[in-house]
Amino acid sequence: MEGYVLEVQKFYTDINDLNPEWRGKFEHQGYMNRLFKTKEKAAEYYDKYNRHMRKLNAHHTWCSDWDPKTYLRYIVRECHGECMKIDPFNINDKPEITVTRSAGKIICISSSQSKN
User: Does any domain span residue 60?
Assistant: yes
Sign of CA dihedral 42, 87, 52, 62: negative
pTM of the model: 0.78
- Domain residues for the domain of 44 are 4-87
User: Does any domain span residue 96?
Assistant: no
**Domain count of the chain?**
1
By 3-state DSSP, what share of the chain in percent is helix, strand and coil, each rounded to 5? Answer: 15, 35, 50
Residue pLDDT tens, the chain, 116 long: 579 999 999 998 776 556 666 777 898 999 999 999 999 999 999 999 999 999 999 999 999 999 999 999 999 999 988 888 999 999 888 776 655 577 776 555 445 554 44
Round to whole Å and give the CA distance between 109 and 111.
7
CB 45 within 8 A of CB 36: yes
